[in-house]
Structure 1
Amino acid sequence: MKKCVCALIALIMSFPFLTACNNGDGVGNESKNQENESAAVSGSVSDESSEASEDGNKPYGWNLPVRDMDNREFRVLCREFGAGSASILGFNGEVIQRPDFDEQTADMVDIEKYRVRREIEDRYNCTITGELSSASQGDFNNIVKSCVLTGEPHYDMVFDAYGFMYTIIAEDMYADIASIDSIDLSNPWWDQNAVRDLSICKKLYFICGDINTYDNDGTWVIYYNKELAAKVIPDVNFYSLVENNEWTFDKFAQIVRMVSSDTDGVDGMSEFDTWGLGTESYNAFVHMLASGRKIAQKDENDVPYLDFQNDGMYTVMDKIMTFYSDNDNVLVANRFSGKYSNPWEETIIKAFRDGRELFYMGGLINMVGFRTIDFNFGVLPIPKYTAEQDNYYHSVSIHNMSCLGIPATTDDYDDLGLIIEALGAESKNKVTPVYYDKCMKSMYVRDEEDEAMLDIIFDSRCFDLGSVFNWGGILWEFMNINTNFASRFDAIADAAQAQLEETLEYFRK
């Protein structure tokens, strides 16, 4: 009987649905999160984005068991990313939808998320409900704690940023996803880079995959103004630089310095002039990660160790910090924190929108909002540190992203695991092709060359446990823009090691 049901489901799942995308906006301000936290102290898409699985023409998840859940309700708690922000717009939930969701007016991705949820509800005789919460980091975590400790309110799935979630893992608030038998993390609807990079001692407490999309939006890239480039540096073909393995940090810095100029009629460079690069302090870390280095590496037993005090790291950081300290060529939004309530919007975003900035470095959450720009722009990978690197490496934001966590409310996650697997598989069949091929590639970027750049970017995403757990506040030292980083690293090394040991003590239990 189950084989018949699966065959029928496979037939139904083979018919795609087409709708239209709407507009939104978004700005990834990682440095702002750092400042706020200091004061208080996706599935990834890929070229497999089609409805045919590796088994041929069968859809992903065709062989998952189908079980009658007897009308069980599964509850989702999802952070409302961008709540109260004028610049991060368009996020409408992972798995669940807003109460005012209307299939006639919703955008294409949200419609597919809705259809996936309803299909899984019908298939498994269950309901999937929940809320989006705009609570602060602390209050959001307190909701999860109340769920685990008192059972009220009850949630089965949580979508939050791992830069917020990690703080309550050691309090036994989240379950080890890798230990849930009904979830197979080797399945193609889970981001295998995240599975590899985010585990500790073979345990995994948060994960990305096709079940969520905002982790994709939190992928960092370089946008560039094609018209400004054609005017100022007409002989430079950026796509050829990438294809010929010449897109390196040195080349990037050279081009930036060729473009920055005093154009506002007032002596001295200000936020109103023309800039080669608009960026933020967090991106110093992004460039470091793009070199293939990490704050924390892992050994053969999946045990992380700190790796930020060595000559190789110092060489990379010296070049990055020297470049970011060049106030005549690099516009860093954080320098204007005392002048503007939102320095990102008022400086680097404004300069790019005004056509006065060649490169803007930020998250793909900006892509939808940039569609209203009246000049042609492109997308490029974060440059390699040297041409000798085998691969590009791309950062996923620690706060402007979503991942899945499971509250530690029970010892029996069998049914929940099956529902999560089904949601992930069906999202890979329906949501990811719409998100990546129909929206990101066909509607957001403007040229075929940019589509190839997106493939490079998404194929090279990676995660650094040192930035996620931020042991000893080490990430903040990578964001402190000056060349005295070695002494700062020394000053926090013992605290970072001690906090890492505390984390390992919990994970080894």
Structure 2
Amino acid sequence: MKPTSMILTLILLCGLISSCGDVEPIDNPEATSVGESTDTVESTDPNSVCDLPSDVRFEGETFTFAVYENANTQNLMIVDEEDGETINDAIYQRKIKTEERLGVTIEQVIYNDNFNEFQNPILAGDNAYDVGNIRCTDALKVWQEGMIIPASELPYVNIEKNYWNKSFNDSLTLCGEQYVIIGDMMISTLDLTYALLFNKQLVADYNLDSPYDLVNSGAWTIDAMYDMMKQVASDVNGDTVMDDNDRYGYLSHPKQVLPNFWIAAGEMSVKKDESDVPYLAMGEERFNDVIQKVFEVLWDAETYYLPTDQLYDVPESSIKLFTNNQSLFMDSSFHHVQQLRGMETDFGILPYPKYDESQERYYSRVSYYNAPIVPVTNNNLELTGALLEYFNYISSETVIPAYYDIVLYSKVSRDDESQAMLDLIFDSRVVDIGDTTLCADIRDGFVATMFQTNDRNLASKLPTAQSKIDAFLSKMPE
């Protein structure tokens, strides 16, 4: 279901979204549904309405989620009470409405970010929870080890519905098996969507072209971004050393840089063949062209600030420099964008740039996601399938509108143009297996170090990367 503010975006997209020419197209995830408040938003689109039969109820039964807490996204499935915060109250309403509809009690257990705490009950044969909300990397592991029930076996679940993210789910099949499914109950796919923030004061001070106009005209490219960055980046104190006393073009955690740009260029580090089997695509010529271009405009031109603090996906030093007007652009997930509500200088929100103007559309990166999995110890698939179907539906009517319209539109986005950009960004989200499921071997395994150390020899890394892919494929379930 499209956001209520999508009319402007549809006008925007008419000239932008089409096939990708000589670039292999990446599936375009559907937009999430939005509304105007935390109240339930009624839809007239049949594909946005839950078709769960009215007599499907499970009186007196208890359903338990297992979740872990993460500093980079929101993971809680339920909260105990309303507290006046928009998202909290929407999550509470989701719980109440689901309990009333199905006649159940929903509970939640929270475990530390420790995979053993999650898998030990399964290994012990203990039905401790019905659905686990875990890291995408761990979801693959438990599937390979036979600890979960494939999503395709769940009754009542209709992934063709708008509240299931079909394009995401199409990318989350391996060897023809839908091992996990993502829907609107998972805020992490919004929280971990990445965008470019730009400092409006610096745009005005340097009389730069409007980034919004560049996006709308299709001219928002890496070269256009570079032209702006090189005018702003400066050794302010003249000591010939670029440090946190100077001004930059771009701020980002080193592990995020290259994936942001290659995905925005329409490339993937890992693709799937006609048999749905993953293969390494980093040796393709255009992929390498994109990587080398990014090194040139960031390292060679000294427009990039390398943070020394790298604990969080968006470093605290990046936020400090950006709010202090010391950088034109900052990379950020939407979870971390919300930390800038108090920034005095206005900022805008943009998609990452295209590789060049021959690329006919924009792509936005989801760096990670949390996956709901069903353990083999689950002894009530009827309840599980029904609850997941309704829970995702009611999330599209409560939590998603709260997140999108109120938290982002009202509290973060500061102008009408940024609101249109939000629609474009969320409509253009894609998932790269090498950046998510296999991030330990690819993105965090060697890509992050390459960029941090200005090592441009991608070809030398590919044999090791291929061996990781081969090892991964050897563990696929029969």
TM exceeds 0.5? yes
What's the CA shift for 1:371? Answer: 0.4
Is structure 2 residue 372 aligned with structure 1 residue 372? Answer: no
What are the equivalent positions in structure 2 for 1:287-326 lying under 5 Å apart? 287-326=261-300
What are the equivalent positions in structure 2 for 1:422-437 lying under 5 Å apart? 422-437=390-405
In 2: Cα distance, 1:412 partner to 1:119 partner: 21
Residue 421 of structure 1: aligned partner: 389
- Compute the TM-score of the two structures, normalised by the length of structure 2: 0.85
In 2: Cα distance, 1:491 partner to 1:471 partner: 16
Is structure 2 residue 450 aligned with structure 1 residue 464? Answer: no
In 2: Cα distance, 1:219 partner to 1:359 partner: 16
Is structure 2 residue 31 aligned with structure 1 residue 46? Answer: yes
In 2: Cα distance, 1:171 partner to 1:352 partner: 44
Residue 20 of structure 1: aligned partner: none
In 2: Cα distance, 1:328 partner to 1:64 partner: 60
Quick check: 1:226–1:377 contact (8 Å CA) kept in 2?
A: yes
What's the CA shift for 1:47? Answer: 5.9
1:326-366: CA deviations, max 9, x gaps? 37211122xx25xx877964532210021111100120112
What's the CA shift for 1:272? Answer: 2.1
Name the amino acid aligned to 1:253: Y
Residue 96 of structure 1: aligned partner: 78
Quick check: 2:250–2:303 contact (8 Å CA) kept in 1?
A: yes
Unaligned stretches of 5+ in structure 2?
1-28, 36-40
Change (3 A) 1:177 1:248: same
Unaligned stretches of 5+ in structure 1?
1-43, 83-87
Is structure 2 residue 135 aligned with structure 1 residue 165? Answer: no
In 2: Cα distance, 1:59 partner to 1:75 partner: 26
Is structure 2 residue 206 aligned with structure 1 residue 216? Answer: no
What's the CA shift for 1:402? Answer: 2.6
1:22-55: CA deviations, max 9, x gaps? xxxxxxxxxxxxxxxxxxxxxx882642434354
1:200 to 155, 164, 174: 174
In 2: Cα distance, 1:158 partner to 1:410 partner: 11
1:449 to 398, 417, 439: 417
Change (3 A) 1:49 1:190: same
Quick check: 2:48–2:163 contact (8 Å CA) kept in 1?
A: no
In 2: Cα distance, 1:114 partner to 1:321 partner: 46
In 2: Cα distance, 1:306 partner to 1:342 partner: 28
What's the CA shift for 1:126? Answer: 0.8
Number of aligned positions between the proteins: 440
Quick check: 1:121–1:128 contact (8 Å CA) kept in 2?
A: yes
Name the amino acid aligned to 2:164: W
Give the match's secondary structure for 1:325: helix
Give the match's secondary structure for 2:174: coil
What's the CA shift for 1:265? Answer: 5.7
Is structure 2 residue 221 aligned with structure 1 residue 248? Answer: yes
Change (3 A) 1:322 1:410: same
Give the match's secondary structure for 1:277: strand
In 2: Cα distance, 1:448 partner to 1:132 partner: 39
1:164-186: CA deviations, max 9, x gaps? 43333211222211232321111
Give the match's secondary structure for 1:305: strand
RMSD across aligned C-alpha pairs, in angstroms? 2.5
Is structure 2 residue 326 aligned with structure 1 residue 351? Answer: no
2:50 to 51, 61, 69: 61
What's the CA shift for 1:214? Answer: 2.3
Residue 111 of structure 1: aligned partner: 89
Residue 5 of structure 1: aligned partner: none
Name the amino acid aligned to 1:433: P
Residue 473 of structure 2: aligned partner: 501
- Compute the TM-score of the two structures, normalised by the length of structure 1: 0.80
Change (3 A) 1:52 1:300: farther
Change (3 A) 1:235 1:466: closer
Residue 262 of structure 1: aligned partner: 235
Give the match's secondary structure for 1:122: helix
Change (3 A) 1:113 1:296: same
Name the amino acid aligned to 1:129: E
